[in-house]
Amino acid sequence: MFKRNFTNMTLIKSISGIRGTIGGNQSENLTPIDIVKFTTAYSRLIKDKNPGKRITVVVGRDARISGSMVDSLVEGTLLGCGVDVINVGLCTTPGTEMAVITHKADGGIIITASHNPRQWNALKLLNECGEFLDDAEGKQVLAMADELDYIYPNIDNIGKVILREDFNAKHIAQVLALPLVDAEAIRKRKFKVVVDAVNSVGGIVIPALLRELGCEVVELNTEPTGEFAHNPEPLPENLSEISEVIRKEGADLGIVVDPDVDRLAFVMENGEMFVEEYTLVAVADYVLRHTKGNTVSNLSSSRALSDITARYEGCSYSAAAVGEVNVVKKMKETNAVIGGEGNGGVIYPELHYGRDALVGVALFLTYFAGLNVTMSELRRSYPAYFASKNKIELTPEIDVDKILSEIKHRYSGERVNDIDGIKIDFEENWVHLRKSNTEPIIRIYTEAKSMAEADALAKRFISEIEQIYKA
Residues 200-229 as x/- pattern, contact with Mg ion by CB under 5 A: ------------------------------
Which residue, 262 or 356, is less far from Mg ion as judged by CB? 262
CB 349 within 8 A of CB 331: yes
Span of 114-122, 163-171, 233-241, 456-464 interacting with Mg ion by CB under 5 A: 114-122
Torsion 219-225-229-235 (CA) sign: positive
Q: How far is CA 250 from CA 323, 379, 380, in A?
A: 37, 18, 20
Which residue, 252 or 324, is less far from Mg ion as judged by CB? 324
**Shortest Å, Cβ 357 to Mg ion:** 9
Exposure pattern of 49-77 as b/e (b: 16+ CB <10 Å)?
Answer: eeeeeebbbbbbbbbbebbeebbebbbbb
Tell me how far apart the alpha carbons of residues 85 and 373 are, in angstroms, rounded to a whole number.
47
Which residue, 120 or 364, is less far from Mg ion as judged by CB? 120
CB 168 within 8 A of CB 92: yes
Residue nearest to Mg ion (CB): 114
Q: In sequence order, what are the residues at sequence separation of 6 or more whose Cβ sits closer than 8 angstroms to the Cβ of residue 230?
A: 198, 221, 238, 239, 241
Q: In sequence order, what are the residues at sequence separation of 6 or more whose Cβ sits closer than 8 angstroms to the Cβ of residue 173?
A: none
What DSSP character marks residue 273?
B
Q: Please give the residues from 251 up to 270 whose contact with Mg ion meets the rule CB under 5 A.
A: 258, 260, 262
**Shortest Å, Cβ 32 to Mg ion:** 24
**Shortest Å, Cβ 79 to Mg ion:** 27
Span of 112-120, 145-153, 283-291, 432-440 interacting with Mg ion by CB under 5 A: 112-120
Q: Does the protein bind Mg ion through residue 276 (CB under 5 A)?
A: no
Candidate list 43, 66, 114, 297, residue with the active-site label:
114
* Full strand arrangement of the beta sheet holding 294-298: 317-320, 294-298, 336-341, 345-347
Tell me how far apart the alpha carbons of residues 462 and 433 are, in angstroms, rounded to a whole number.
10
Which residue, 112 or 446, is less far from Mg ion as judged by CB? 112
**Shortest Å, Cβ 213 to Mg ion:** 23
Q: Does the protein bind Mg ion through residue 114 (CB under 5 A)?
A: yes
Tell me how far apart the alpha carbons of residues 299 and 451 are, in angstroms, rounded to a whole number.
19
Report how many residues bind Mg ion under the rule CB under 5 A. 4
**Shortest Å, Cβ 104 to Mg ion:** 25
**Shortest Å, Cβ 114 to Mg ion:** 3
Instruction: Report the DSSP pairing between strands 17-21 and 84-90.
Output: unpaired
Q: Does the protein bind Mg ion through residue 295 (CB under 5 A)?
A: no
Pick from 63, 151, 62, 145: nearest CA to 109: 62
Which residue, 252 or 260, is less far from Mg ion as judged by CB? 260
Annotation says 301 is catalytic: no
Residues identified as active-site? 114
**Residues forming the site for Mg ion (CB under 5 A):** 114, 258, 260, 262
